[in-house]
Amino acid sequence: MTKIAVAKGDGIGPEIMKAVIEIFNAANVPLEYEYVDMGKWVFDKGYSNGMTPEAQETIESLGILFKGPMETPKGKGVKSVNVTARKTWNTYANKRVFQTLHGVDTVFSKAGIPIDLTIVRENIEDTYGGIEHMLTQDVALARRFITRPGSLQVIKYAFEMAKKKGTKRITCGHKANIMKITDGLFLEVFYEVAKDYPELQADDVIVDDLCMKLVTRPDIFDVVVLTNLQGDIVSDLCAGLVGGLGFAPSANIGDHISIFEAVHGTAPDITGKNIANPTALLLSGLAMLRHLGYMRSASMIENALQYTLEQGVRTGDFGDRSKPALNTTDFAQAIIKNFNQLPAHNPRPMLEDKPVTQTVFKLEKNPMLLSNEEEYEKIVGVDIFLECEEQPMALADKALKHTTDLFKLVTISNRGTQVWPKGSVFTNLVNQYRCRFESVAETGLTQIDILELYKRMAGDFKICSTELLNMVGDKRMYSLAQGQ
Sole binder of ligand NAI in the list 70, 97, 135, 282 (CB under 6 A):
70
Question: Whats the size of the chain, residue-wise?
Answer: 484
- Pick the stretch among 26-34, 68-76, 222-230, 474-482 that binds ligand NAI (CB under 6 A): 68-76
For ligand NAI, the nearest residue by Cβ is 265
183 binds ligand NAI (CB under 6 A): no
- Pick the stretch among 268-276, 283-291, 292-300, 330-338 that binds ligand NAI (CB under 6 A): 268-276
Sole binder of ligand NAI in the list 85, 270, 313, 481 (CB under 6 A):
270
Q: Which amino acid is at 99?
A: Q
Q: Which amino acid is at 413?
A: S
Give 19-32 as a DSSP string. Answer: HHHHHHHHTT-SEE
Cα angle value 425/429/432 (rounded, 5°): 140
Sole binder of ligand NAI in the list 6, 7, 38, 69 (CB under 6 A):
69
CB of 253 to ligand NAI, least distance (A): 15
Give the separation between CA 360 and CA 4, rounded to whole angstroms: 12
Sole binder of ligand NAI in the list 276, 288, 309, 445 (CB under 6 A):
276
What own/partner pairs with CB < 8 Å and gap ≥ 24 does 174-183 have? Answer: 174/204, 174/205, 174/206, 174/207, 174/226, 174/227, 174/230, 175/206, 175/207, 175/208, 175/230, 176/204, 176/206, 177/206, 179/144, 180/479, 181/477, 181/478, 181/479, 182/144, 182/146, 182/227, 183/146, 183/227
SS (H, E, C) 180-231: CCHHHHHHHHHHHHHCCCCCCEEEEEEHHHHHHHHHHCHHHCCEEEECHHHH
Q: Which is nearer to ligand NAI, 158 or 267 (CB)?
A: 267
164 half-sphere exposure, CB direction, 13 A CA radius: 9
- Pick the stretch among 21-29, 197-205, 269-277, 462-470 that binds ligand NAI (CB under 6 A): 269-277
CB of 249 to ligand NAI, least distance (A): 11
CB 66 within 8 Å of CB 4: yes
335 binds ligand NAI (CB under 6 A): no
71 binds ligand NAI (CB under 6 A): yes
432 binds ligand NAI (CB under 6 A): no
Q: Which is nearer to ligand NAI, 149 or 268 (CB)?
A: 268
Through-space distance between the first and last CA atoms of the chain, rounded to whole angstroms:
63
125 binds ligand NAI (CB under 6 A): no
Sole binder of ligand NAI in the list 317, 338, 439, 469 (CB under 6 A):
317
CB of 133 to ligand NAI, least distance (A): 23
Sole binder of ligand NAI in the list 72, 90, 414, 466 (CB under 6 A):
72
264 binds ligand NAI (CB under 6 A): yes
Sole binder of ligand NAI in the list 2, 82, 99, 151 (CB under 6 A):
82
CB 334 within 8 Å of CB 307: no
CB 55 within 8 Å of CB 38: yes
Q: Which is nearer to ligand NAI, 266 or 308 (CB)?
A: 266
Q: For the chain, count helices (H), then strands (E).
A: 14, 18
285 binds ligand NAI (CB under 6 A): no
Closest CA to 15 of 277, 346, 238: 277
Site for ligand NAI in 7-26 (CB under 6 A): 12, 16
Sole binder of ligand NAI in the list 139, 206, 211, 245 (CB under 6 A):
245
Closest CA to 94 of 230, 277, 211, 217: 230
Backbone angles phi and psi of 365, in degrees to 5: -150, 165
306 binds ligand NAI (CB under 6 A): no
232 binds ligand NAI (CB under 6 A): no
Residues binding ligand NAI: what is the number (CB under 6 A)? 21
283 binds ligand NAI (CB under 6 A): no
CB of 4 to ligand NAI, least distance (A): 17
CB 225 within 8 Å of CB 173: yes
246 binds ligand NAI (CB under 6 A): yes
Give the separation between CA 203 and CA 221, rounded to whole angstroms: 11
- Pick the stretch among 66-74, 395-403, 415-423, 441-449 that binds ligand NAI (CB under 6 A): 66-74
314 binds ligand NAI (CB under 6 A): no
94 binds ligand NAI (CB under 6 A): no
444 binds ligand NAI (CB under 6 A): no
Cα angle value 240/84/122 (rounded, 5°): 50
Peptide bond into 421 cis (omega under 30): yes
CB of 376 to ligand NAI, least distance (A): 44
- Pick the stretch among 275-283, 347-355, 365-373, 438-446 that binds ligand NAI (CB under 6 A): 275-283
- Pick the stretch among 198-206, 213-221, 259-267, 401-409 that binds ligand NAI (CB under 6 A): 259-267
**Torsional sign, CA 33, 36, 39, 40:** positive
Residues that bind ligand NAI (CB under 6 A): 12, 16, 69-72, 82, 245-246, 261, 264-270, 276-277, 280, 317
